[in-house]
Amino acid sequence: MGDFGVVADVSTIVVERLTRALAGLSTEPLRAVLHDLSEPVQTDVPKLTVFLYEIAEDPASRNRPPIRSLPPDPPTTRKPPMALLMRYLITPWGGDQLTQHRMIGRALQAFYDDAILDGEELTGSLAASTDTLHVTLTPLTLDQKSWVWYAIQKPYRLSLNYEIRVVNLDSLDVSALRLVSSRTIDGTPLP
């Protein structure tokens, strides 16, 4: 489970995974970088930008029951973690068109071959957790992609849209439970 830093941790995991995938693709050291695309991307060296453009709550994970602590911890109940969907725009920059297409192809290959991130691949607040992150290529129409680019006020570029689910963000809402220490049974018959 993740604390408030889980959003940054997932972005770091995505960038590191893509950077590893780009190794050996070219004589130049290609890498992925986290970028919000609000400023021009420096294209001195070809790169993939990773832009987190949307975070939403996973509707399938709503209304989960509270989590109770296990002994020997004091008895508490915690609100279940918020289940998040994170949507990323991955875009190649710099180099020639063939280099950009190779970078896109390698990103597709990396997330197709390893679509479930877990275990040692998870770092930060997700390290040593039992969480799994499912990476899915999001099928968007050309109009939907154009709206994403329009929203950030940039001309449309070839890019990939990925969705990562379920990212669990721990709740801070913890309540102490009172233990039953005695009970009284009234022997009066019911009407």
**3-class SS at 123?**
coil
Sketch out the chain's domains with CATH numbers. Answer: 6-171 (3.30.2000)
The model's pLDDT over 63-94, given as tens digits with 9 standing for 90+, comes to: 888 777 777 777 788 888 888 999 999 999 98
pLDDT at 114 exceeding the cut of 60:
yes
Whole-angstrom Cα distance, residue 103 to residue 91? 9
Using CA atoms, how far residue 132 sits from 55, 116, 120, 128, 165, in Å, is: 17, 6, 11, 11, 8
**Percent of the chain residues topping a pLDDT of 90:** 42
Average pLDDT, the chain: 87
Structure tokens at 116: 């479930």
The neighbouring-strand residues paired with 52 are 88
Other beta carbons within 10 angstroms of residue 185's beta carbon come to 5
Structure tokens at 180: 């039953």
Residue pair 81/66 in contact (Cβ under 8 Å)? The answer is no
pTM of the predicted model as reported, rounded to 2 decimal places: 0.83
